[in-house]
Chains A and B, each alone.
Chain A
Amino acid sequence: MISQIFILSSKGDHLIYKDFRGEESKDAINVFYEMVTALSGNQPPVVMSHKGLNFIHIRQGGLYWVASTNTNPSPFTIIEFLNRLAALTKDYCGSLSEKSVRMNFALIYELLDEMVDFGYIQTTSTDILKNFIQTEAVSSKPFSLFDLSNVGLFGAETQQSKVAPSVAASRPIMSSRGEQGGKNEIFVDVIERLSVVIGSKGVLMKADIQGEIRIKCFLPTCSEMRIGLNEELSIGKSELKGYSSAVRVDECRFHQAVKLDEFDTFRILKVCPSQGEQTVMQYQLCDELPCAPPFQLFPSVEKDYVNRVLIFLKLRCDLPPKSTALNVSITVPVPKGSTSMSQELSSPDQTAELQPKNKALLWEIPRFPGGAQLSALFKVDVPGLSSASLLEVGPVSMSFELPKQTCTGLQIRFLRLSPTQTGLSQRWVRYVTHSDSYTIRI
């Protein structure tokens, strides 16, 4: 049971406030903001309480999404509900930011009114909600032709060999009746998050992949859709199908609306997507990486002159030659008290900077083609350097995204809408792998 729901900007401005039960005063917002900003970082901030009132909050899009309650509810329910609220706001407003929430506050009030009554969750399904939501979303960025010319981050290879613009999916689901009519699109994204620990000798110590298939649907009505996955996909440890090239996942879970009658034999998911975004399948693979880890690092750390550390990094990208890693950033912890740094990088588009506050240097590479090898030399000045300070260098952490790549090898063979609709609807399939956490020990 939820007493109040409010959305605050990171500076504490009240963006949305709705009191469902009239039990608590509006001061709760200020109490909450004072508490959350006074946190020292090691206290668990998800649940806080003040005089019998519990605050549960999440952070998304730089905003605080808060539910307050004076009962003791299931934290999972409230957290997932707040996540869902944020997702719906994103669906309806196109994007999630302070600006879009400010511009669409009437819409969000309308949403909240239908989603929660007297503190009880009524529905969060877009199919039901779309009948009640009347306000048009105000898009914070109008959809222009210029955006179309941008080549997206995601490659899309469907029957139409076109590329979907990366912003195409970030628009309100309801505005289809406006001037952008005819954009009957459906996006099917395979998103994997990779968390890897590589030991000091290049040994793979930990590898987990969390993946999901997400549908973002802009079709006003949609009949059944069939998603065909790799036929040789096997699930679980023991089961192996076909030859060594089999794609394997440990475990998978499906949205309850997915029909699985053809899954066991043909690996086909049948689903009637509702408008907006939804996750149809989640899967995970632990302690195993079917491909080589995307990056290998060959570091060397030496003490140069009296007060200088030489860090030489050689980074190799083990992706297939055709693919590219984007937005690669490498964080290397440096000894405490590092004052300045000089660097030698191999190309001008790379940047590197020393961040004394985080005791780290940050090396950024916007594009990194597969099979390439880049090296960089950093000279860090550390006054009062001792040989023990070298121990402070490492572990290196990386973040990147790999478009058109799935590490498990999961692919979508086909995407069929039945009965086949007129040519108006466009189907997009996109793959991307994000680094959840990629750590290399030195």
Chain B
Amino acid sequence: MPYFGSEEMVKELKRALSNPHVQSDRLRYKNYITKVIRYMTQGLDVSSLFMDMVKASATVDIVQKKLVYLYMCTYASDKPDLALLAINTLRKDCADPNPMVRGLALRNMCNFRMPGMTEYIEQPIVAALRDKASYVRRVAVLGCAKMHSLQPNTEIDGRIVNELYALLRDPDPVVVVNCLRALEEILKDEGGVVINKPIAHHLLNRMKELDSWAQSEVLNFLLRYHPRSDDELFDILSLLDSFLQSSHAHVVVSTLRLFLHLASAHRAVQADALLRTSAPLLATCSAVSRELRFAGLCHVQQVMRSQPGLFATHYKRFFCGYSEPSYIKFRKMEILVELVNDENVSLVLEELRSYCTDVSPELAQAAIAAIGRIARTYSEKCLDILTGLLALKQDHITSAVIQTFRDLVWFCPQSTAAVCQTVEAGVDRPQDSEGKQALLWLLGAHGDQMGSAPYVMEGYIDGLKTELSSTVKMELLTATVKMFLCRPAETQDMLGRLLHYCIEEESDVCVRDRALLYYRLLQRGAEETRRVVTGPKSDPSMSVLTGRQEEPISEWASTFNTLGPLAGRDSCPQTDAISAADQPSYSAGEELLPGSEDVTLSGPGDTEEEISLSLGAPLSHESFEKMWLDLEILHRQALGVSRPRTAPDTLQASLQLEKIQTLAFTPADTVPWKAYIYTRSTGTLILAELLQGATDESLVLSVKQQPVNQHAIRRFVSVLKSVLQTLNLE
């Protein structure tokens, strides 16, 4: 912040600091130094006072010393030649009998960020590493890291590294942790500090002496250690057990992360750790500090990806407080939607209903969208609430409700009739473009079920000249064409007017091109147009199977307790759904991604026993079909078992238990009987068909895979066979 007359002020300070009268009066002198620091903080350039400040550093007053050091560290890089003058004083202080003065001088000398410092600081640092005061050793250890960062490209000094490794046994806990930090920086190019068994156990045994900051840092370093045996693993876990209940949230979360990491092969241990930390995590969600609350909520969301039921009984803890900032309320609503079950649905809906009239329109819209998400499972109750909200006749609410209706109809076709009835019964015209688009989409896609639809649309066509948004115009074009296909008599005239206007008078190129496209298409005849324009009216993936998948913990454990979960996500799930509605075809490549993360868990050289199957994100019918047609059959065999005579649900459930997803199968008594299933394993996607012809005794299995991994196929076949055999036994 450049102040008016700042140069004058600096000059005045310079005069005062060099005034011998001021210098002899300690209090006045110190006051002027304080003033310099104050200006420095405010952003004023006071570097021209460097010489005077160096003089001021020769004092016995520690407060004054500290202030001057702060000044010197800030400007040393700008005035390296003058800073050298200060080094003599500092080096002298490094030999002071008072450990506080020694530590202070060394720390600040290491903070001078200018080239050529190393030769001055190396000797004092090495000496201070053996100082008898722990305060000085702490400073010296970090000084090693600072020295390295001054000359990042020089060779690593093995002597210092060895000395630091030796200091890991220092009696002072802060020195120990600082050693880890310094080694980590110095050895960054070689992969950081090595945590071998003796070091790991040494650290574990000293955990109790450390303060909470050091504890969570050491826990982070321990992530690097791999216990040799299960016995050792469980020894470590029981040593760390008490830290899961620490009163510091950061220690609890770091411990949990280490548990999840170390016990990655022991599901039960992971689940137990999550259960035991659920109480402290919930407590952070209602901490006094809002920021901590937010961090807690974001991490609860992560845990819920694998254990959706863990917090179900605590759903009331996620009710929004009236004074909470909206970024917390948004997260809480997202969590509430996930926690809904048969018992709490009416209470949760009642709570969400009360947010819909919130003074913040964003919050109200988010609450309405949340109700819409719940409506995919509990449509009746939610539709009542949503319809009731329309009576408020407020623009932002109406618009949000209509957008929610559109998404609901897309994901949950059975609610179409009720939605159409509500829309038909009279809905206020939404004023914003998202709302308009949603209403037009509904009219276009389900115009056959709404008697008044063409007249509502006509209103929009008549008001076209005043419409500003081009996306609304394009939606209007699509919707009118769709409407024309199902109700030609009522729509023909207005479609003509619309196309005429858009082609002749519209200035937006996109709208004009879209209109021309429809015009040419209509010239090819109604059937051709129908084939191109009408797509599916609802989400084509099988709704029975869309139940939320429990992700494996490894999917998120690597980002747990990092900034990742807190970083802003630009889009809420609702907008994702809308874009999905616009583009029904998913790209197959994208869907492969979630499974491919498994690669890191086991390399290609692993033996067959270690290959496990996983569920990953569900595949849509289209992408399955596309891949099935694209890929070659890699493996075909008769399984030697016949089709299980159990109910389809049982078959599906038991396959899912073994991480095999069912995409579709033919009804029980059709011949030939077919089932399509898929699974993922170590980065590959396995698609398979089960077929039982009229004459065959045994099921025939055909497997396709992308990318090819024979181990995984063998594993898959054996798993599948055992499932089918067990089912047949029953």
Q: Do A and B come from one complex?
A: yes
A197 interfacial contact with B, CB 8 Å: yes
- Chain B, residues 297-331, CB within 8 Å of chain A (1/0): the string is 01000000000000000101101111111110011
B351 to chain A: which residues have CB within 8 Å? 197
Segment from A113-121, A164-172, A178-186, A413-421 that makes contact with B: A113-121
* A74 close to B77 (CB less than 8 A): no
A331 to chain B: which residues have CB within 8 Å? 322
Using A83-B289, A113-B66 as known contacts, say yes or no to A14 and B253 having CB atoms under 8 A apart: no
B564 to chain A: which residues have CB within 8 Å? 72
- Chain A, residues 47-72, CB within 8 Å of chain B (1/0): the string is 11100001011110000000000001
A79 interfacial contact with B, CB 8 Å: yes
A43 to B351, CA, bound (A): 22
Closest to B565 in A: A75
* B392 close to A13 (CB less than 8 A): no
A193 to B293, CA, bound (A): 14
A77 to B61, CA, bound (A): 34
A295 to chain B: which residues have CB within 8 Å? none
A399 interfacial contact with B, CB 8 Å: yes
A135 to chain B: which residues have CB within 8 Å? 63
* B213 close to A282 (CB less than 8 A): no
A46 interfacial contact with B, CB 8 Å: yes
Using A46-B566, A253-B247 as known contacts, say yes or no to A76 and B357 having CB atoms under 8 A apart: no
B391 interfacial contact with A, CB 8 Å: yes
A256 to B317, CA, bound (A): 26
Per the 8 Å Cβ criterion, residues 71-90 of A in contact with B are: 72-77, 79-83
A106 interfacial contact with B, CB 8 Å: yes
A117 to B38, CA, bound (A): 21
* A44 close to B327 (CB less than 8 A): yes
A interface: dominant SS: mixed
Closest to A113 in B: B66
Using A13-B42, A106-B34, A391-B357 as known contacts, say yes or no to A113 and B70 having CB atoms under 8 A apart: yes
* A76 close to B253 (CB less than 8 A): yes
* A193 close to B288 (CB less than 8 A): yes
Interface residues on A, range: 35 or more
Closest to A120 in B: B181
B280 interfacial contact with A, CB 8 Å: yes
B696 interfacial contact with A, CB 8 Å: no
Minimum C-beta distance from B36 to chain A (A): 11
A44 to B330, CA, bound (A): 9
A409 interfacial contact with B, CB 8 Å: no
Closest to A336 in B: B394
Closest to B330 in A: A42
- Chain A, residues 1-45, CB within 8 Å of chain B (1/0): the string is 100000000000111110101100010000000000000111111
B47 interfacial contact with A, CB 8 Å: no
* A206 close to B319 (CB less than 8 A): yes
B66 to chain A: which residues have CB within 8 Å? 106, 109-110, 113, 134
Max chain B C-beta neighbours (<10 A), residue from A15, A105, A121, A125: A121
A342 interfacial contact with B, CB 8 Å: no
Minimum C-beta distance from A396 to chain B (A): 9
B138 interfacial contact with A, CB 8 Å: yes
* B321 close to A80 (CB less than 8 A): no
Using A74-B253, A105-B37, A395-B354 as known contacts, say yes or no to A120 and B63 having CB atoms under 8 A apart: no
Closest to B324 in A: A437
A47 to B292, CA, bound (A): 11
Minimum C-beta distance from B211 to chain A (A): 7
- Chain A, residues 187-202, CB within 8 Å of chain B (1/0): the string is 0000001010101000
* B316 close to A206 (CB less than 8 A): yes
Closest to B76 in A: A22
* A80 close to B250 (CB less than 8 A): yes
Minimum C-beta distance from B326 to chain A (A): 6
A154 interfacial contact with B, CB 8 Å: no
B220 to chain A: which residues have CB within 8 Å? 74
Per the 8 Å Cβ criterion, residues 114-156 of B in contact with A are: 138-139, 142, 145-146, 149
From B292, B321, B327, B391, A76 is in contact (CB under 8 Å) with: B292
Minimum C-beta distance from A370 to chain B (A): 23
Minimum C-beta distance from A78 to chain B (A): 9
* A79 close to B289 (CB less than 8 A): yes
A283 to B174, CA, bound (A): 30
B62 to chain A: which residues have CB within 8 Å? 134
* B67 close to A75 (CB less than 8 A): no
Minimum C-beta distance from A293 to chain B (A): 15
* A437 close to B322 (CB less than 8 A): yes
Max chain B C-beta neighbours (<10 A), residue from A48, A59, A77, A358: A77
A441 interfacial contact with B, CB 8 Å: yes
* B392 close to A392 (CB less than 8 A): yes
B42 to chain A: which residues have CB within 8 Å? 13-14
- Chain B, residues 378-403, CB within 8 Å of chain A (1/0): the string is 00000000001001111000000000
B113 interfacial contact with A, CB 8 Å: yes
Per the 8 Å Cβ criterion, residues 265-298 of A in contact with B are: 279, 282, 284, 286-287
A195 to B318, CA, bound (A): 11
* B317 close to A22 (CB less than 8 A): no
Closest to A396 in B: B322
Minimum C-beta distance from A63 to chain B (A): 13
* B563 close to A47 (CB less than 8 A): yes
* B142 close to A120 (CB less than 8 A): yes
B178 to chain A: which residues have CB within 8 Å? 117, 120, 122
From A15, A117, A123, A253, B41 is in contact (CB under 8 Å) with: A15
From B292, B324, B391, A80 is in contact (CB under 8 Å) with: B292
B659 interfacial contact with A, CB 8 Å: no
B248 to chain A: which residues have CB within 8 Å? 80
B629 interfacial contact with A, CB 8 Å: no
* B145 close to A123 (CB less than 8 A): no
* B359 close to A123 (CB less than 8 A): no
A76 to chain B: which residues have CB within 8 Å? 216, 249-250, 253-254, 284, 292, 295, 561
B1 interfacial contact with A, CB 8 Å: yes
B283 to chain A: which residues have CB within 8 Å? 210, 251, 253, 282, 284
B212 to chain A: which residues have CB within 8 Å? 256
B473 interfacial contact with A, CB 8 Å: no
A255 to B286, CA, bound (A): 18
Minimum C-beta distance from B172 to chain A (A): 11
A26 to chain B: which residues have CB within 8 Å? 43
* A47 close to B216 (CB less than 8 A): no
Using A47-B563, A134-B62, A284-B283 as known contacts, say yes or no to A208 and B250 having CB atoms under 8 A apart: no
Minimum C-beta distance from A71 to chain B (A): 9
* A256 close to B247 (CB less than 8 A): yes
B43 to chain A: which residues have CB within 8 Å? 14, 26
From A43, A73, A124, A251, B279 is in contact (CB under 8 Å) with: A251
* B63 close to A44 (CB less than 8 A): no
A135 to B65, CA, bound (A): 11
* A117 close to B138 (CB less than 8 A): yes
Using A42-B330, A391-B391, A437-B323 as known contacts, say yes or no to A208 and B563 having CB atoms under 8 A apart: no
A388 interfacial contact with B, CB 8 Å: yes
A386 interfacial contact with B, CB 8 Å: yes
- Chain A, residues 237-266, CB within 8 Å of chain B (1/0): the string is 000000000000001011110000000000
Per the 8 Å Cβ criterion, residues 243-281 of B in contact with A are: 245-250, 253-254, 279-280
A-B contact pairs, 6 of them (CB 8 A): A13-B42, A46-B291, A113-B107, A193-B288, A360-B359, A391-B388
Q: Can you add 20 more A-B contacts, CB < 8 Å, to A74-B216, A253-B246?
A: A41-B325, A44-B330, A47-B568, A49-B567, A59-B291, A76-B561, A80-B250, A81-B213, A105-B41, A106-B37, A117-B139, A118-B145, A120-B178, A197-B319, A256-B212, A284-B283, A286-B316, A394-B354, A437-B322, A441-B354
Residues of B within 8 A of A (CB): 1, 34, 37-38, 41-43, 62-63, 66-67, 70, 74, 77, 100, 107, 113, 138-139, 142, 145-146, 149, 174, 177-178, 181, 211-213, 216-217, 220, 245-250, 253-254, 279-280, 283-284, 286, 288-292, 294-295, 298, 314, 316-317, 319-327, 330-331, 347, 350-351, 354, 357, 359-360, 362-363, 366, 388, 391-394, 561-568
Ranked nearest first, the 8 interchain pairs of A and B with the lowest CB-CB distance are: A437-B321, A76-B250, A397-B322, A388-B391, A253-B247, A121-B213, A77-B250, A206-B316
